[in-house]
């Protein structure tokens, strides 16, 4: 893998060479891969994989490759948030077969979720999660501690039967204490019938 700097220089100079080591073919437009490697990537999840590989068309292969790519390939658009932040993939998982063996329990619609958001991709730190589970584990999550329990704001809102944005504005806009924000009932307006 040649460096990003070198690739950028090549692009500036009009030289567009496949980013796979040892491949000298010109790239497809708007990609960093030649036609052959581009096709391999989209068919098999990885530009290096040949069709003879045992799991070449496994449905999870593209998910695995996306994980490896954003952590190890500076040309990936997501590199900034993964490899660039120091998040790595454990050595064992650089092989797809090992990843497959460790990560059982996949259902359609699930995505890879790291338990510790700053931790690496390794068997103890990764699970398959549904979208809403994962949404509460991003860096933007507001954590609230109440009665010794630390939960995301969204979870507290569900528990108290308040809308998430109401709870948020109570704490961060109105400056209420956590205690009051979680326990005070919603304001109800007198209805016309009872008046
Ligand atoms: Zn190539």
Q: Measured in angstroms, how far is the CA atom of residue 86 from the centroid of ligand 1? A: 28
Mean pLDDT, residues 181-195 taken together: 71
28 CA to centre of ligand 1 in angstroms: 10
CA 122 from chain centre, in angstroms, equals 14
- Interval between CA 15 and ligand 1 midpoint (Å): 14
Give me the phi and psi of 72, to 5 degrees please.
-120, -10
Cα 122 to ligand 1 centre (Å): 30
pLDDT at 10: 64
pLDDT (tens digit per residue) in 97-107? 899 888 888 88
Q: What is the DSSP letter of 151?
A: E
* Model pLDDT for residues 7-51, shown as the tens digit of each residue: 666 666 666 778 776 677 888 877 888 888 888 888 777 777 665
Please write the tens of the pLDDT for every residue from 115-141: 887 889 998 888 888 877 776 666 667
Cα 107 to ligand 1 centre (Å)? 33
The predicted structure's pLDDT at residue 190: 67
How far apart are the C-alpha atoms of 131 and 110, rounded to whole Å? Answer: 6
Distance between Cα 21 and ligand 1 center (Å): 8
């Amino acid at each position: 893998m040649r460096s990003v700097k070198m690739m950028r220089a090549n692009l500036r100079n009009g030289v567009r060479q496949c980013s796979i080591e040892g491949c000298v073919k010109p790239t497809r437009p708007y990609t960093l891969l030649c036609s052959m490697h581009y096709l391999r990537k989209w068919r098999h999840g990885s530009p290096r994989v040949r069709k003879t590989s045992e799991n070449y068309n496994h449905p999870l292969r593209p998910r695995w490759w996306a994980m490896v790519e954003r952590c190890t390939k500076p040309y990936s658009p997501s590199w900034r948030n993964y490899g660039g932040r120091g998040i790595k993939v454990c050595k064992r998982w650089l092989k797809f077969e090992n990843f497959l063996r460790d990560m059982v329990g996949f259902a359609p619609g699930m995505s890879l979720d790291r338990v510790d958001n700053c931790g690496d991709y390794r068997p103890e730190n990764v699970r398959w999660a549904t979208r809403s589970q994962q949404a509460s584990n991003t860096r933007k999550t507001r954590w609230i501690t109440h009665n010794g329990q630390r939960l995301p704001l969204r979870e507290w809102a569900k528990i108290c039967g308040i809308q998430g944005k109401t709870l948020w504005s109570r704490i961060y806009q109105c400056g209420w204490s956590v205690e009051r924000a979680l326990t005070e009932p919603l304001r109800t307006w007198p209805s016309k019938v009872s008046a």
